[in-house]
Amino acid sequence: MIYDDKSKNRLKRIEGQLKGILRMIEEEKDCKEVITQLSAVRSAVDRTIAVIVSGNLEHCIRESIEAGDGNSSKIVEEAVNMLVRSQ
């Protein structure tokens, strides 16, 4: 699997968002504000999943083509299934 710096940075930002949400809860901020931030985290996680799956899908397909094993359709199917399960 390939995890580039872009993916790691996305996760670090999400971690920061979660810490901020915990702080908001401890400070008893308004429910709407907390939910808004939680929704933003969920969206960020979904985007990160897509980035990781697409990057690795591209890598795996290239390897499959170079190896000449004809597994590309199976690799694409697995990637699509991962994306569907993540929803």
Q: What pLDDT does 68 receive?
A: 77
With a CB cutoff of 8 Å and minimum separation 6, the contacts of 63 are none
5-86 to CATH, choices 3.90.1150.10, 1.10.3720.10, 1.20.58.1000, 3.40.630.10: 1.20.58.1000
Amino acid at 10: R
Q: Is 52 exposed, middle or buried (0-12, 13-18, 19+ CB in 10 A)?
A: buried
Two structure tokens written together for 60: 């795996």
- Residue-by-residue pLDDT tens, the chain, 87 positions: 668 888 899 999 999 999 999 999 999 999 999 999 999 999 999 999 888 888 877 777 777 777 777 667 777 777 777 777 776
Report domain extents, the chain: 5-86
Instruction: Write down the pLDDT at residue 21.
Output: 98
Name the phi and psi angles at 57, rounded to 5.
-60, -50
The one-letter code for the residue type at 40 is A
